[in-house]
Amino acid sequence: MAGGRGRAWGSGVVALVLLLVALVGCGGQSADGRATSDVQRVLDRRSTAVLDRDRVAFLKTGSLSWFENLRGVPLAGWSYRVTALHENGDGATADAELRYQVQGYDNAPVTVGRTLTLSRDANGRWQVDADVPAQKTAQQLWDQGEVSVVRGTRSLVLGVGQSSEQLHVYADLADHAVPAVSGAWGTDWSRHVIILVPKSLDGMAGLLGSPASQYRGIAAVTTGEVGGPPHAPADRIIVNPDAYALLGTLGKQVVLTHETTHVATRAHTTAATPLWLSEGYADWIGYLGTGRTAVQAAPELARSVDDGQVPAALPADGDFGFSGDATKLAQAYEGGWLACRLIAERWGVGRLGQFYRAVGDHRQRAGSVEDAMSKVLGTTPEKFTEQWRQYLRAQLR
């Protein structure tokens, strides 16, 4: 009898466990799930506080962190999505996606990974102690300090550790660059730019998530989605203030116009576009109207040609690596610029733009240049390369 009651009681426990499992499966929530939901609610309140510029509400969710650094940045959106939660006693670490939009510039949110450290307060509620870039994820400008904001007619300049006067110089240069690019490329682009100016080279590297050594001597780079779909975040022009400060007035304008060209051409710059074309075209627009001769604008290649060493082929993508030989890098840019200059002089400015679009619209590298040269320029890569080599000899001696 005792054994029978024991078996019956055991069966009841099993039935109860199965019932609980069924209830959880039908919409109940585990302890882990409840914790994740609780953290998500905290981050939702934190997001609202960011958009409302509500310091008190933000503090109620945890540490003030970078809140004050961000206050001048015009935001159209800010939200988190918790992707994983790792609890450890009274604390936890959350992996999250942050999505934000800069008002008037981003047509879609920028999405970045963040790691949040959390703890429970005296009432057992979660609060955020730290919010930093996820491992192997680039910093945002406000991670580096208080962001100063300057608005140009056609630009938004965000800086850390920069004076208002310095940031206004960038805005003025960008406001000159935008119509210059539109005059050559056309107006089928946003016609405004975002410029990020960190305090130093190290700050630039942090924004790009790469070692500073890769960008030493590089005045600026542009980041954005390949192919530039209509609903995408705006490109960011990221400045290396250390290298940029060494340039003269003309050099600074050429660099900003070059980078602005990348913004304008993004929708037609794809995996099919070789770097000699994308970088050469940006330099070609950058130097338009400056009066610079080929020898002045391409000194490294001029020295090589003067020594009887004319490149056998157009620059390869690998020649544009920032961490390689500085002379080889300079020659790659100069060679691309002269290739585009040759097309503009021999076939016309309009054909150069058509050629660029045709290459990018091919969508895959194989055959892209060949097809575009045949359809737009009526030539072949082999014939064009020989014309380019002759052009180098004629222009650089």
**Within-domain flag for 158:** yes
> Which residues is 84 bridged to in the sheet?
95
Q: Are 365 and 275 within one domain?
A: yes
**Within-domain flag for 2:** no
The pLDDT assigned to 26 comes to 40
- Cα 82 from chain centroid? 23
- Cβ–Cβ under 8 Å, residues 283 and 329: no
Q: Are 252 and 297 within one domain?
A: no
Q: Is the pTM of this model over 0.75?
A: yes
CA nearest 375: which of 354, 392, 394, 393?
354
Q: Where are the beta strands (DSSP E) in 30-177?
A: 75-88, 91-102, 110-120, 126-133, 147-151, 155-160
Contacts of 234 (CB under 8 A, 6+ apart): 102, 105, 106, 107, 190, 193, 194, 224, 263
Query: In the listed set 137, 159, 193, which residue is the last one of a domain according to the structure?
Result: 137
Query: In this structure, what CATH number is given to the domain that contains residue 117?
Result: 3.10.450.50
pLDDT tens string for the chain (397 positions)? 434 433 333 434 333 333 333 333 344 456 678 999 999 999 999 999 999 999 999 999 999 999 999 999 999 999 999 999 999 988 999 999 999 999 999 999 999 999 999 999 988 999 999 999 999 999 999 999 999 999 999 999 999 999 999 999 999 999 999 999 999 999 999 999 999 999 999 999 999 999 999 898 899 999 988 776 777 899 999 999 999 999 999 999 999 999 999 999 999 999 999 999 999 999 999 999 999 999 999 999 999 999 999 999 999 999 998 766 889 999 999 999 999 999 999 999 999 999 999 999 998 999 999 999 999 999 999 999 999 999 999 999 8
Most distant CA atoms of the chain, gap in Å: 111
The pLDDT assigned to 228 comes to 67
Query: In the listed set 84, 116, 137, which residue is the last one of a domain according to the structure?
Result: 137
- Cα 309 from chain centroid? 37
Q: Are 124 and 186 within one domain?
A: no
Q: Using CA atoms, how far apart are residues 282 and 251, in angstroms rounded to an integer?
A: 14
The pLDDT assigned to 31 comes to 62
Q: Using CA atoms, how far apart are residues 274 and 276, in angstroms rounded to an integer?
A: 6
Q: Are 150 and 228 within one domain?
A: yes
Q: Using CA atoms, how far apart are residues 253 and 165, in angstroms rounded to an integer?
A: 17
**Within-domain flag for 110:** yes
Query: In this structure, what CATH number is given to the domain that contains residue 244?
Result: 3.30.2010.30
Q: Are 118 and 164 within one domain?
A: no
Query: In the listed set 137, 163, 185, which residue is the last one of a domain according to the structure?
Result: 137
Matching residue, tokens 């001769």: 293
Q: Are 143 and 260 within one domain?
A: yes
The count of structural domains within the chain is 3
Q: Are 279 and 394 within one domain?
A: yes
**Within-domain flag for 255:** yes
Q: Are 381 and 346 within one domain?
A: yes
- Cα 326 from chain centroid? 24
Q: Are 86 and 173 within one domain?
A: no
Q: Using CA atoms, how far apart are residues 324 and 220, in angstroms rounded to an integer?
A: 17
Contacts of 179 (CB under 8 A, 6+ apart): 154
Which domain does 150 fall in, by range? Answer: 138-265
**Within-domain flag for 23:** no
**Within-domain flag for 25:** no
Q: For residue 107, give Cα distances in angstroms to 147, 190, 232, 345.
A: 22, 10, 5, 36
- Cβ–Cβ under 8 Å, residues 190 and 224: no
Q: What angle do CA 113, 114, 115 make, to 5 degrees?
A: 135
Q: Are 125 and 146 within one domain?
A: no
The pLDDT assigned to 397 comes to 86
Q: Are 373 and 322 within one domain?
A: yes
CA nearest 157: which of 167, 146, 165, 142?
167
**Within-domain flag for 49:** yes
**Within-domain flag for 1:** no
Q: Are 389 and 342 within one domain?
A: yes
